[in-house]
């Protein structure tokens, strides 16, 4: 049984002028010990997917479809039961650690609180556990970090503290939402190493959300590409990177400048990401796609298989695969 099984998940957010469907019927599953990457540009619904899994949608947001954790549908749980799931079963690391840590409490206090609340430890046991967590995430000299306030730490250290908090109650699933976007590139490497290590040593499942294809390529087993609230392509990372099927995935990969490419001209995707409030009727990418036909604007494409476990949602898949001249630039 999969740890996490998401089926036709839809998230609607109230907006001026009607509800915006930020996530439109996405389905995926996550096995134990597996890592899944969700990649896409801003506004594609990747963060909203993460918040929906955590049961932390913004006010007025509504869910449809099902989220099953070890076979139990999270949508049927009340808030008290959901509080138990959060932290114990699913934990999350956010993008900007400064805004997600409480600035008026020490790191120690914020670390001890879930240990006492969720695991029922007393204060002394919790403190011992907190010290070992801080050491595990590379904050050696835990006494100092235990009594430090978030503003006294650097960005990388804060993110390490966030990871310690996420690990504290031994969750089965770790969701990391752009965990390194706010960090410098040399620190980013250290944090990715840390996430990779703790996830594999504890046999956790990982959902890594990122806009950076390099980060995705090197940290996850499977990847899902999101655009306009839908998953347009998903499959094993090596499979997807070798054979880009969906026109959006192809465009996205071609638009990224790579170190070592020199002054090669970048292929661009014309236009911009559509507003969530008025997404097109049919395929959300139709307006920017060079292969789109009349039918693309009316009909929502279904996921079709393009290889072993590799699927893409496009009506013009054959044409798209034919134009996919490169697997991936070496």
Partner 1 sequence: MTFVDTPMVEASGLTRHYALPRESLTAPAQRIHALNQVSLTVHAGRSLGIVGESGCGKSTLARCIMALEPLTAGTLRILGKDPHSMRPWTLRRHRRNFQMVFQDPFGSLDPRHTVARIVAEPLEVAEKWLKPEDRRLRVKEVLESVGLKEADMAKFPHEFSGGQRQRIAIARALVTRPALIVADEPVSALDVSVQAQVLNLLQDLQDNYGVTYLLISHDLAVVEYVCDEVAVMYLGRIVEQGPTVEIFSAAAHPYTRALLDAVPKMTPGERRSRSSLKGSVPNPVDINPGCPFADRCPLVESHCRFQAPELREVSPGHLVACHLA
State the residues that interact with partner 1 by CB under 8 A: 41-42, 154-157, 184-190, 192-193, 211-215, 217-218, 237-238, 240-241, 251-269, 272-273, 328-329
- Residue 167 beta carbon to partner 1: minimum distance, rounded to whole angstroms: 20
In the complex with partner 1, which residue's Cβ is closer, 14 or 271?
A: 271
- Residue 328 beta carbon to partner 1: minimum distance, rounded to whole angstroms: 7
- Residue 154 beta carbon to partner 1: minimum distance, rounded to whole angstroms: 5
In the complex with partner 1, which residue's Cβ is closer, 29 or 211?
A: 211
- Residue 319 beta carbon to partner 1: minimum distance, rounded to whole angstroms: 20
β-strand partners of 10 = 64
- Residue 97 beta carbon to partner 1: minimum distance, rounded to whole angstroms: 13
- Residue 87 beta carbon to partner 1: minimum distance, rounded to whole angstroms: 28
Q: Is the distance from CB of 10 to CB of 64 less than 8 angstroms? A: yes
In the complex with partner 1, which residue's Cβ is closer, 48 or 85?
A: 48
In the complex with partner 1, which residue's Cβ is closer, 168 or 188?
A: 188
Q: Is the distance from CB of 28 to CB of 50 less than 8 angstroms? A: no
- Residue 189 beta carbon to partner 1: minimum distance, rounded to whole angstroms: 3
In the complex with partner 1, which residue's Cβ is closer, 186 or 203?
A: 186
């Amino acid at each position: 049984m999969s740890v996490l099984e998401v089926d036709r998940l839809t998230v609607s957010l109230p907006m001026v002028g009607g509800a915006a469907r930020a996530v439109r019927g996405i389905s995926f599953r996550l096995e134990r010990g597996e890592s899944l990457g969700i990649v896409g540009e801003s506004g594609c619904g990747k963060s909203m997917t993460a918040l929906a899994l955590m049961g932390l949608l913004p006010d007025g947001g509504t869910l449809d479809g099902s989220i099953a954790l070890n076979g139990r549908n999270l949508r049927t749980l009340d808030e008290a039961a959901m509080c138990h799931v959060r932290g114990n079963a699913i934990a999350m690391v956010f993008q900007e650690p400064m805004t997600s840590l409480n600035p008026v409490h020490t790191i120690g206090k914020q670390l001890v609180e879930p240990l006492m609340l969720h695991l029922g430890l007393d204060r002394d046991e919790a403190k011992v556990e907190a010290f070992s967590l801080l050491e595990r995430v590379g904050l050696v000299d835990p006494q100092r970090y235990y009594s430090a306030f978030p503003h006294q730490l650097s960005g990388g250290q804060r993110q390490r503290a966030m990871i310690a908090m996420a690990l504290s109650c031994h969750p089965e699933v770790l969701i990391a939402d752009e965990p390194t976007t706010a960090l410098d590139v040399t620190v980013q490497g250290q944090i990715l190493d840390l996430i990779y290590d703790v996830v594999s040593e504890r046999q956790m499942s990982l959902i890594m959300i990122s806009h950076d294809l390099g980060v995705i390529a090197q940290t996850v087993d499977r990847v899902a590409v999101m655009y306009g609230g839908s998953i347009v392509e998903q499959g094993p990372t090596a499979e997807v990177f070798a054979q880009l099927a969906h026109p959006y995935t192809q465009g996205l990969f071609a638009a990224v400048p790579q170190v070592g490419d020199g002054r090669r001209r970048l292929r661009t995707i014309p236009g911009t990401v559509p507003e969530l409030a008025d997404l097109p009727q049919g395929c959300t990418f139709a307006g920017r796609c060079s292969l789109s036909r009349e039918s693309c604007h009316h009909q929502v494409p279904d996921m079709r298989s393009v290889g072993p476990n590799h699927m893409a949602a496009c009506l013009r898949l054959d044409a798209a695969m034919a134009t996919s001249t490169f697997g991936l630039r070496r």
